[in-house]
Structure 1
Amino acid sequence: MLETIKNRLKNFPLECTQPGPQERGSTAAVLVALHGDSADPQVILTQRAFHLNNHAGEVAFPGGMWDETDTDLLQTALREAHEEIGLLPSLVEPIATLPVAIPKRRSLRVTPFVGLVDGPLDLVAEPGEIGALFDAPLRQFMNVENYQYFEMKTEYGALRFPFLPYNGYKIWGFTLKVLTDMLNSTLEANIHLDYPSHERIEELRQSEQLKKRGPQ
């Protein structure tokens, strides 16, 4: 499986770019770190600490905001992975840059980098940022029967999101979308999940604005 993913990711060549001057405050990078048995690879995931102000308790890739000391966004992803989980950059073989994504609930441009990681690994979560650290087998994401849906209240109303339950964790949102898109592109996984459309979000937003205005 891992060899097939690696070969197909040649369609997403590694690009080490810097954010433009106007994007630097809203640009981040994450590391999709794959390791383990080639036939049954794992992805390294974190659970954000519950005391954080943003996205507390959510499952995420190692990564974070671009810093002026970073030469490029790949270094951002590697630096943050080192700071958050103790993953040495020297153990990572970067192989691909996935398409830039913009999480629906935040004005942020996030670049995911895929890297192959040599083991054995001795990773330690940084408690100020990371509540838990775990591996998830890519095979779990390949089975469409594993997916469920939940409703979340937002500023615009209730929205329905897909998620993958795994060992007590809820993998959803940006993290889930990046992984399933990668598997669809490399393994023809045929994972089609129902996300809230931009049209639906806009409809709820306009409805909420009308409520706030009251009778005309």
Structure 2
Amino acid sequence: MPNSSFHSFANTLRERLAEPLPGPEAHLKMASRSRLRMAMQPNERTRRSAVLIVFYPYQGSIFLPLILRPQYDGVHAGQMAFPGGRMERTDESLIRTALREAQEEVGIRVTDVKVLGKLTEIYIPPSNFYVQPVVGILPYRPDFYPDPREVEHVVEVGLDELLDETIIGENGIEVRGTLIDAPFYQIQGFKVWGATAMMISELLTVIQSVPK
């Protein structure tokens, strides 16, 4: 992809992110049935966190990375996600949280990331986190150095693949011995569901008219 085309995409995306966001309406398209039934809201114990959605040019197209969480004793073990994590006291903003976590988890050089804007914050009841998705770009394909404690695998996903509606499915997803009825994106053999799928839904709604 010529640099001019990628920068045109980035500039248009930045403009779209500055407009009113689709938010919950887009989230609902990929929300699990259990989430809809519970309708849980943030509370006094809810913690703030952020993830980084970063686009980069690669193989004549536009890509972004997802990560596979390793198996561990936690509610998000073995799930697909964007790089990110909880806000620390030393973080001056949630944008800083997203950048720091991406650097720690997959080795992205955050000084090269240009932040375009933010998507709508989303609440994750199982972990009681309120998550801020931050959207940015890199002018090149990064070298990934995943932290094995946090990341089992990095999956590079093309924007064209995300925009293909045939990757959307819905059936029972087993999570820690429980079947969850949830929509998902089938991406390179992985089911991307839950909050990450809801973020992707809003992201795609925002960029549908952005030239690629």
TM range (shorter): 0.7 to 0.9
Aligned to 1:177: 198
Report the Cα distance in structure 1 between the residues aligned to 2:201 and 2:160, rounded to whole angstroms. 11
Aligned to 2:96: 75
1:160 corresponds, among 163, 174, 181, to 181
Shift, 1:54, TM fit: 3.0
The 3 A distance-change label for structure 1 pair 78 and 12 is: farther
The 3 A distance-change label for structure 1 pair 154 and 104 is: farther
Aligned to 1:150: 171
Report the Cα distance in structure 1 between the residues aligned to 2:87 and 2:50, rounded to whole angstroms. 7
Q: Percent identity?
A: 27
Report the Cα distance in structure 2 between the residues aligned to 1:38 and 1:183, rounded to whole angstroms. 21
Report the Cα distance in structure 2 between the residues aligned to 1:116 and 1:91, rounded to whole angstroms. 8
Report the Cα distance in structure 2 between the residues aligned to 1:38 and 1:11, rounded to whole angstroms. 30
The 3 A distance-change label for structure 1 pair 123 and 38 is: closer
Shift, 1:6, TM fit: 3.6
Report the Cα distance in structure 1 between the residues aligned to 2:140 and 2:148, rounded to whole angstroms. 23
Aligned to 1:10: 18
Report the Cα distance in structure 1 between the residues aligned to 2:206 and 2:67, rounded to whole angstroms. 24
Q: Root-mean-square deviation (CA), in Å?
A: 2.7
SS at match of 2:152: strand
Q: Which has the higher contact order (CA 8 A, sep 6+)?
A: 2
Gaps of 5+ in 1: 14-21, 190-216
1:139 corresponds, among 137, 156, 160, to 160
Q: Is the 8 A contact 2:113 2:137 kept in 1?
A: yes
1:112 alignment partner AA: P
Q: Is the 8 A contact 1:31 1:112 kept in 2?
A: yes
1:103 aligns with 2:111: no
1:59 aligns with 2:84: no
Moved more, 38-47 or 112-121: 38-47
1:122 alignment partner AA: D
SS at match of 1:41: strand
Give aligned pairs, total.
180
Q: Is the 8 A contact 2:119 2:202 kept in 1?
A: no
Shift, 1:182, TM fit: 1.4
Moved more, 139-148 or 77-86: 139-148
1:11 alignment partner AA: E
Shift, 1:92, TM fit: 0.5
CA offsets, 1:165-184, max 9 Å, x none? 22222111111111121111
Gaps of 5+ in 2: 1-5, 22-42
Report the Cα distance in structure 2 between the residues aligned to 1:183 and 1:48, rounded to whole angstroms. 23
The 3 A distance-change label for structure 1 pair 74 and 115 is: same
Report the Cα distance in structure 2 between the residues aligned to 1:28 and 1:154, rounded to whole angstroms. 22
Q: Is the 8 A contact 2:45 2:128 kept in 1?
A: no
Report the Cα distance in structure 1 between the residues aligned to 2:57 and 2:143, rounded to whole angstroms. 13
1:160 alignment partner AA: D
Report the Cα distance in structure 2 between the residues aligned to 1:130 and 1:7, rounded to whole angstroms. 32
